[in-house]
Structure 1
Amino acid sequence: MNKKMEYVDKVANDIQFSGTFHVKNSEGITTKNYGYSNYAERIKNQTNTRYGIASGCKIFTSIAVCQLIEAGKLSFDTTLNQCLDYDFPYFDKDITVHDLLTHTSGIPDYFDEDEMDDYEELWASIPMYHMRSLKDFLPLFKGMKMKGKVGNAFSYNNAGYILLGLIVEKVSGYVFGDYIEKYIFQKAGMEDSGYFEMDDLPGRTALGYIEKPDGAWKTNIYSLPVKSASDGGAYVTARDMALFWDALTQARLLSRNMTDLLLKPIVRVDDDIYYGYAGYMQVIEDKTIKHILMGYDPGVNFRFVQYPDTSLIIVVCSNKSEGAYEILNKIEDLLV
């Protein structure tokens, strides 16, 4: 497998990729690093470098909710109003946990990609350094009108996962990030992963880089909320994400029945792409071909796929805004 991976080098060099890929299959494990975690200091990315994965960590929120459902503290049919005491004057009273998990709630999103091209635009008038808890996101969307009807078509929604994180906090009594670290990261052996603050990052954490119009690079410190949230922003190593998937599929995070439910397709997104409690998946003739996790923020690019039939896992983490998909695509060409 290592010989095949040499072909990835050309793609990485062509696109100036910065990050790490980690591949695990029946032939073994291959990990390779490119670029720098800190370009000013010329600190190279390493196998144990921690990367932001943006929305790639929504699955952690889903698992936390499912754990609380298994504990009898929630159900998929529990409504938003039964969980939270905040006032949502225009939200439908029938929105359930299931609707929020599957992006079918119809609520407005605080970052609406139909109206806003660049996530950085959010922080032009709102200090991103004030976004240190989940409730800090509520003023961005809680007073807005519904965007669609509950239970209708899939519409990707970050705000729904902020609400799910608040539900986890309310029901469990933990700060959201603390809950994930205790009940998911520790159980999965993800020793290098966590929910960090950008102005207090631990060692071995890659800074995110955004290309400027003149071709130079700037960090993303003013482009993202300062604290990781339940809709995205956790920091992981590529290896930790492979460990996480192993723990999930081996039913070490949830019961076998709940794990199977988590991994099932639920709502059709487009053509052969579906969404379930565990994120995206490609489904052909009622068979799940691969599970897909992805995340994008300014200075952050993440891709993950797992093929159930072969147990192939490919993880690509990047500390630039682009590049993870190209690396993933080349690896899939070589191995699938």
Structure 2
Amino acid sequence: MVGLARGRHRPGRLGRCNKAVDVHHVAGYRHRRSNLADSVATLAQSRGFSGVVRVDRGEHPELAAAFGLAERGYGIPHTMDTQLALASGVKPLTALVVVSLIEEGLLRLDAPMRALLCADLPLIDDAVSVEHRLATTQDYLTVLEGHPQKFPPGERFSYCNSGYVVLALLAERASGQDFPALVQRRVCEPAGMVDTAFLRSDELPASAGRGYLDADGLRTNVLHLPVRGCGDGGIYTTAADVHALWQALGHARVVSREWYAEMTRPRSEAPTESAHYGLGFWLPLPGDRVAFEGMDAGVSCRSVHQKETGVTHTVLANTSGGAWAISRHLDEQLFVA
């Protein structure tokens, strides 16, 4: 399905314009939008893409398209309201929770993690701070398995899942609330993300897409991932909610403008990714773009937002790596150097 799709969206969610406009400008806009929709549909068909795609310019949508099946066994197609898993796409939400606690004085960016960990996870270096963890400048995967850390805190960039699990633990201890509730109250509610939640993979609602291990077949990822996600991955959302998040960040409804700018300031270099890393967000090169992405068994996603123009594209897929080809195509079409 290609085009602007409406479902449970609240009135005005996709934007309206009642001003008089130039006919030639409108015709050019419609032609550009039609070309984009056609090229995405062609690529989706050739790649066997299964998921949803959305493109917006500020408050105004240019494309909303759903392809493939959310549930293969019963032949249930994706719609623009399908909730799909984000894998590591949850990391910015984790970072936003932590920053909101910092704004309230419940955490400090330079605070040593040991202050809240106490005697737990003793192999984590006492010098490791909240900032180290947010900027992924230290890898704790081996630490959590009971082995020494790979290198001293702050020495270099190393993308890390387990460090964000530790951040979720710190947020729980600082606030006295469990992590899913923190994400709901501190990110989803102020952003208006009405269809975003840490769903259990063994009791998914009809609105959620199942993650599939192969391009064809019925094997899902339910035995390959934790039943319920945490700070490093596992939340479910919709393309509309992702757009709502970018809009909320630009309007300072989740954290202040100053802190959003701080979170999207380059902290670490990731040369192999052609990007910098901020605090929970990827910063693709070149340009003023901010992004998040994730991939796991039966899951892939990428969303890119350009601050200056307000252009955003989001691709959510229920297969491993399925989002990449269309996301790269949208980069080329929307963010021409």
Q: What TM-score, normalized by structure 1, do the two folds share?
A: 0.85
Deviation at 1:171? 0.8
Any residues of structure 2 matched to 1:105-144 within 5 Å, and which?
Answer: 105-109=138-142, 141=144, 143-144=146-147
CA distance in 2 between counterparts of 1:149 and 1:107 reads 11
Q: 1:5-48: per-residue Cα shift (whole Å, max 9, x none)?
A: 11111111111100000100166332100001100100010110
- The residue that corresponds to 1:291 in the other structure is 290
CA distance in 1 between counterparts of 2:314 and 2:279 reads 20
Deviates more, 1:24-33 or 1:184-193: 24-33
Query: Identity over the aligned pairs, expressed in percent?
Result: 29
Deviation at 1:183? 1.4
Name the SS for the 1:30 alignment partner.
strand
- The residue that corresponds to 2:247 in the other structure is 246
AA matched with 1:61: T
2:133 to 97, 100, 125: 100
C-alpha contact (below 8 Å) 1:198/1:227 kept by paired residues: yes
Structure 2 gaps, min length 5: 1-32
CA distance in 1 between counterparts of 2:104 and 2:77 reads 43
- The residue that corresponds to 1:187 in the other structure is 190
Q: Detail structure 1 runs of 4+ shifted over 4 Å in the superposition.
A: none
CA distance in 2 between counterparts of 1:302 and 1:109 reads 26
Count of residues paired in the alignment: 301
Higher RCO, 1 vs 2 (CA within 8 Å, ≥6 residues apart): 1
CA distance in 2 between counterparts of 1:76 and 1:265 reads 16
CA distance in 2 between counterparts of 1:227 and 1:181 reads 15
Deviation at 1:142? 5.3
Any residues of structure 2 matched to 1:34-73 within 5 Å, and which?
Answer: 34-73=67-106
Name the SS for the 1:230 alignment partner.
coil
Q: 1:109 to 1:276 in 2, by over 3 A?
A: farther
Structure 1 gaps, min length 5: 111-140
C-alpha contact (below 8 Å) 1:109/1:160 kept by paired residues: no
CA distance in 2 between counterparts of 1:178 and 1:56 reads 18
Name the SS for the 2:141 alignment partner.
coil
Deviation at 1:310? 1.4
RMSD (CA atoms): 1.7
- The residue that corresponds to 1:257 in the other structure is 258
Deviation at 1:86? 4.4
C-alpha contact (below 8 Å) 1:5/1:331 kept by paired residues: no
Q: What TM-score, normalized by structure 2, do the two folds share?
A: 0.85
